[in-house]
Chains A and B, each alone.
Chain A
Amino acid sequence: MGKALLKRAGLLVGTLLLVSVLAFAAFSVIPGDPTTSVLGAEATREEIAAFRAQHGLDLPVWQRYWSWLAAFVTGDFGRSFKFDMSVSELVATRAQVTLVMAALSFALIVAISLPLGLISARRRGGVVDRLVTVLTQVTMSVPNFIMGIGLMFLFALVLKWFRPEYVPLEDGLGAHLRFMVFPALAVALPKSAMTVKLLRGSILGELGQDYIRTAYSKGNSQSSALRRHVLRNAMIPVVTFLAMAVGDIMAGSIVVEQVFTIPGLGRLLITEIGNRDYPVVQAIVVLLAAVVVGCNFLADLLYRVMDPRIDGK
């Protein structure tokens, strides 16, 4: 275990470095200088020179990358081109919103998909199972921004369960969550459908195994065989899938934040892409990618803990 772990950790660091190089390189090779788009076309030569010196744009690329990376790991993401603010400040307040939404989506996925997957596998071929199978297949095909628009239409405009205006955390946690549940649902529903399907297939696969026949022959009822023997094994791919899903949840938030006009990381990302404010865009991209890489690493770890056989390979 130790050696494999060390190797994976090495890979993690390597991937993160590569991600940072890619993110940095992408914004360093852009045709056109960010100075013209930030300062405007009528900026004087002195202003441009001062701006370039202030943001270190006059240094060679590798030097810029190195100082950016060295500052980045200490939590200093540089200064925004557009706002007179440090990127860390700008990002921190927005990240909180996105994190709440992502956490809520994750909780919803687990809460929706586990019971549904279990029921539909237990009553295989039954009415509930057929209904769930059709519903998951359809839900999987709905892009999350369309799901968001649909939820908005149904719950905000027709049923009037919530007002389609963002409620910040300062207005109270309850009110904040009551609003955030709908965008979180938009992200969670398509992902839940995939999870239900995976869990159902995984349970059915385990039920066909010899050890389950043995469990029945030892006098286990269906539910005790499920509880004691099947679930533990059937959950392995599901847990891995859920850990990997965090990246998609984050990406989904970017789009769904636009639907519900939530001032999170995604909205900041989109507006600053428009403003060509690259330090902000770079920081958000690397942070999100780091979360994804971290979660993939976690998925790998969990997999090894839950299924020790993998170490033999």
Chain B
Amino acid sequence: MVRNSKGRQKIEMVKMKNENNLQVTFSKRRSGLFKKASELCTLCGAEIVVIVFSPGKKVFSFGHPNVDCVIDRFLNINPPHPRQHTDMQLSEAHRNAIVRDLNNHLTQVTEEFEIEKKRNEDLKQKRNNNKMPENWWEEPIETLNLSQLTEFKCGLKNLRKTVTAEASKNLQAIVPRHNFYAGSSNNAAFGIFDDKGTIDPDLDLYNRQRMVVKNTCACNHHNMIVPHHITTPFGNIGNSITEGFAPEYNQNQNQLCFKQEHISECDHHSDQPHHFGHGYY
């Protein structure tokens, strides 16, 4: 494992020279000091006040039960009236209960955080282990040349198609299946073709699906399937290069096909929605 920094090092106990480092150190150490103070109060029930002035002359303070109370006592201002004692005890009990809950909550969040951190490490490790040198597309984008990028783009676009199709199966309850165009124009409706989309490609799949419905309903009368020879309102877009990368994911009879063949070749199922040839990519 390549180490990027030297790790913890002993530092001299003198005022730091570098202004920026000093500011950063101040932030971190002040935060750490407050954490220690809070822990002391929780663990041992002590009373504490910590006052710190920043390099920028701003003041930070932490106090338990609160800053002013402890300071007043130190300066011998306003000693508590005996009659106030029981009230103070009650509110202290109340306060302690709240703090106890907060501490439990914080512990829980910290544990979840630790779990996520571990998962993060594991995922990165997994990527390292699964690395296959012949799969050049798994390398960082910056290392790929233009032809590789273009090929990769085609492959990904096709993958996107099938993933979108799978996702649309899940939304069948919301949108009637028959209104869907197969193949390329489906994507066109999603606005997924490169630079000129009618629909914001930043929309997640669910919202894009809704946009498709909107668009299809606009041109679909009586819930009829538009015959294949009519140009869709979405026009003729896309790279002809993508032709070559048409993985065929045939699904069962009454579902959508994503074959990129010429129209004349798809007439075998009369009850099926018509396919769109490469011209409608």
Q: Are A and B subunits of one complex?
A: no
